[in-house]
Amino acid sequence: MEIMKKMITAVLGFAMAVSGYIPVSAENAGNPAFDEFMMDEFREAMESDYTTMHFTLRDYAAYGIEKPEPVIGSAAWEDYEQAINDTKESLAKLEAFDYDSLSETQQHDYDVFKFTCERMIELNSYPDYDWWFMPSEGLIDNLPTNFTEFVFYEKQDIDDYLSVLESVSDYIDGALDITAKQVEHGIFMTDGALDSTLDAINKFVARTDDNPLIVIFEENIDAFEGLEESEREAYKARNREILFSSYIPAYQRAAERLEGWRGTRQEGVSIADLPGGKEYYEARTKFKASSDKSPQEILDICTAYLNTEIKKYISLMYSVESDDLLEDTVDITDPSEIIAFHEKNMSVYPEGPKVRYKASYLDPAVASDGIVAYYLQPPVDMIEDNVVRINGDNVADVNELYSTLAHEGFPGHLYQITWYLNTKPSMMRSALSNIGYTEGWAMYAEDDAWSYSGMNKYAIEFNRINTSLSYAMNAACDIGVNALGWDVEELGAYLEDIGLNSSMAADLYDFVMETPGVIVPYGAGLAQFMTIRNKAKSTLGSQFDQTAFNEVLLTYGDRPFELVEKDVDKWISTFDPSQSVPVEEEEEFPARPLSPWPFVGGIALAVIAVIGGIILIRKSKRRDPFA
């Protein structure tokens, strides 16, 4: 949750990745004291939370880290103020450094750490809006993932696992007490969101002997070498005892108390309408979009991107020779083979480290309805082995499986994260997360992956635009409703302004009310990456090189988009503008003459007929099992 001192994610070689942009060897030596400060901050973060430490590092002792108490975490109202004070202290130490004494890499680390601290101070200033039981992002959906993905490196890890499992009951009770205070202040999630959370609870507690926290634990115990048979049986019995006497009853208590708060949120009231809601959601939008820009500025970027894509879509729909061409599909169905296919077709990306990966389907009992798939980042000291999980119930067809695995694997999360970790960044940077960048990159990579899918050109463009429109549209509507306070009529007017029909405004309004902020990193992240790329292509013309550009994006890892723009501008400045020849892209799908843009009549209805359902029912490709 947001009460952590810093946004550390429990996610997430030797040779430095070759960079044609800014060779590390060309940097000044920097300030050794800064590196020591960052390492101290990393150790402190790891020692403050066991689950974060376990998923971040395999060999924590090698970094001088003392193992914290093996519990799931802390959930208390006073934690928010403590988190603010701790983060302000870290920020003051950071700002005491002379920025000019730092190397270029250190300056990036400084800027990213400062951005993260500022966002955490802002978010923790609004504890009423840190909703622990939201669907997809909340405890109920994400706690099981902590346990099903928990790796036993040594025997002590099994004992620690059981200790963490046993601590869940108190953790949930603490989260419920926080929620009770929020309700006292008149702030709660919508009834629709509540229904989704209660459904997830019911689905999980209904599983007894076949509960995934039993099945997967026992599989892992049987596979663990060095245990006596009596030890295996004792561990299995203890796991069952905790699950049935503590863990599941805690879920049931949560369901009862949450149901008692039904109706607390007045229907049709967005976050922007609640006390302090606009101010909170501005902070949330900045964090989710990885940007210091205002919600209006981020919305403007999304809108400009949508306008471009909708024009392309209309051009396509009036040029397609036969509707059957749009139904073309990729010819690979096995997940591991699809990932391998993506890996072999990365001609416009710099080479990354050699890694292994395994793709498998999730047990339905722990597969959140709001997740299509996720990439489980490896420990930062063991990046070779990577895992992708797929929620089969949320994958509509082979084309969606293809794009999903581009998002989670190559050239998406798996590639971007291991590429950066292979450059041996500071440990603190390897554990910080800028979700707008990471999800935006994965959407950017997914967008590109359609180009080598082997389908006909109409189907490629059809699938590409459908995907990008779905997420950018949801992000724009989310910001408009929850940050700017649009009502249904204003949302409908926005849809009409960009050339779509307003008939879906009510459904979109309900969707972004129930899942505030979930889609923003995907849609806003994609729009920002595309805006930066289009600027570079327009400026450099014939000198633009996609591979070199992608390396600029990757260098220095996930970071706020202001830093990405700064790095791209620096890269552009290394070219001689007199050598740039403008390149006019051929219009592959020239539209036949029609009525002037914007189209608000038949063509708008045609677009809605194709993409409206996707906008409303497509699940987000979230990779956030440890929120």
The tens digit of pLDDT for each residue in 9-23 reads 333 222 222 223 333
Phi, psi of 181 (to 5 degrees): -65, -40
Cα gap 152→58, rounded to integer Å: 10
Overall average pLDDT of the 128-150 stretch: 94
User: Which secondary-structure segment (H or E) carries 389?
Assistant: strand 385-390
Question: Which of 205-219, 350-364, 505-519, 593-607 is predicted with the least confidence, judged by mean pLDDT?
Answer: 593-607
Alpha carbon separation from 478 to 95, 519, 623 (Å, rounded): 34, 8, 19
Alpha carbon separation from 50 to 69, 112, 212 (Å, rounded): 6, 24, 22
Overall average pLDDT of the 209-229 stretch: 96
Judging by beta carbons within 10 Å of its beta carbon (0-12, 13-18, 19+), is residue 344 exposed, middle or buried?
A: exposed
Q: What pLDDT was estimated at residue 589?
A: 62
Cα gap 271→278, rounded to integer Å: 7
Instruction: For residue 383, give the amino acid letter.
Output: I
Exposure pattern of 183-219 as b/e (b: 16+ CB <10 Å)? beeebbbbeebbebbbebbebbbebeeebbbbebbee
User: Which secondary-structure segment (H or E) carries 612?
Assistant: helix 602-617
- Residue of 10, 1, 13 lying closest to 352 (CA atoms): 13
Q: What pLDDT was estimated at residue 598?
A: 33
**Chain centroid to CA 169:** 27
Cα gap 475→367, rounded to integer Å: 23
Cα gap 407→444, rounded to integer Å: 8
Q: Which residues contact 119 (CB under 8 A, 6 or more apart)?
A: 7, 283, 286, 287
435-473 residue pLDDT tens? 999 999 999 999 999 999 999 999 999 999 999 999 999
Say which residue, 221 or 20, is predicted with more confidence. Answer: 221
**Chain centroid to CA 54:** 20
Phi, psi of 558 (to 5 degrees): -70, 135
Q: Which residues contact 192 (CB under 8 A, 6 or more apart)?
A: 510, 513, 514
- Residue of 455, 464, 465, 460 lying closest to 331 (CA atoms): 455
- Residue of 197, 186, 97 lying closest to 139 (CA atoms): 197
- Cβ pair 158, 235 in contact under 8 A: yes
Three-class SS of residue 34?
helix
Query: How large is the C-alpha radius of gyration of the chain?
Result: 24
**Six token digits for residue 420:** 């950066």
Write down the number of H helices and E strands in the chain.
24, 3
Taking 50 as the threshold, does the pLDDT of residue 607 lie above it?
A: no
Cα gap 417→406, rounded to integer Å: 14
Q: Are strands 356-361 and 385-390 parallel, antiparallel or unpaired?
A: parallel
Highest mean predicted confidence (pLDDT) among 203-207, 576-580, 618-622: 203-207
Say which residue, 176 or 19, is predicted with more confidence. Answer: 176
Q: What is the pLDDT confidence band of residue 614, given thresholds at 50, 70 and 90?
A: very low
Helices (H), 59-154: 78-95, 104-124, 139-148
Sequence-separated contacts (24+) of 108-111 with Cβ below 8 Å:
108/556, 108/557, 108/559, 108/563, 109/34, 109/38, 109/425, 109/426, 109/428, 109/429, 110/34, 111/559, 111/560, 111/563
Looking up tokens 């992956």, which residue turns up?
449
Overall average pLDDT of the 178-206 stretch: 96
Exposure pattern of 117-153 as b/e (b: 16+ CB <10 Å)? bbbbbbbbbbbbbbbbbbbbbbbbbbbbbbbbbbbbe
Q: What pLDDT was estimated at residue 27?
A: 60
Q: Which residues contact 198 (CB under 8 A, 6 or more apart)?
A: 255, 258, 259
Q: Which residues contact 187 (CB under 8 A, 6 or more apart)?
A: 128, 129, 265, 274, 275
- Residue of 3, 9, 87 lying closest to 46 (CA atoms): 9
Q: What is the pLDDT confidence band of residue 583, given thresholds at 50, 70 and 90?
A: confident
Sequence-separated contacts (24+) of 297-301 with Cβ below 8 Å:
298/479, 298/524, 298/528, 299/476, 299/479, 299/480, 299/483, 299/484, 301/524, 301/527, 301/528, 301/531
Q: What is the pLDDT confidence band of residue 95, given thresholds at 50, 70 and 90?
A: very high
Taking 70 as the threshold, does the pLDDT of residue 501 lie above it?
A: yes
User: Which secondary-structure segment (H or E) carries 390?
Assistant: strand 385-390
Overall average pLDDT of the 569-587 stretch: 82
Instruction: For residue 500, give the amino acid letter.
Output: L
> Is the C-alpha dihedral spanning 40, 41, 47, 48 positive or negative?
positive
Taking 70 as the threshold, does the pLDDT of residue 620 lie above it?
A: no
Q: Go through the chain and tell me how many residues it has.
A: 627
Three-class SS of residue 387?
strand
Taking 70 as the threshold, does the pLDDT of residue 24 lie above it?
A: no
Cα gap 74→557, rounded to integer Å: 30
Say which residue, 410 or 606, is predicted with more confidence. Answer: 410
Question: Which of 28-32, 140-144, 442-446, 494-498 is predicted with the least confidence, judged by mean pLDDT?
Answer: 28-32
Cα gap 192→182, rounded to integer Å: 18
The Cβ of residue 71 has, within 10 Å, a number of other Cβ atoms equal to 18
Overall average pLDDT of the 411-417 stretch: 98
> Is the C-alpha dihedral spanning 15, 21, 25, 27 positive or negative?
negative
List beta partners, residue 387. Answer: 358, 376
Computed over every residue of the chain, the mean pLDDT equals: 89
Taking 70 as the threshold, does the pLDDT of residue 390 lie above it?
A: yes
pTM of the model: 0.91
Question: Which of 27-31, 504-508, 543-547, 596-600 is predicted with the least confidence, judged by mean pLDDT?
Answer: 596-600
The Cβ of residue 545 has, within 10 Å, a number of other Cβ atoms equal to 14
**Six token digits for residue 432:** 């910080």
List beta partners, residue 356. Answer: 385
Overall average pLDDT of the 70-84 stretch: 96
Overall average pLDDT of the 531-540 stretch: 96
Say which residue, 365 or 185, is predicted with more confidence. Answer: 185
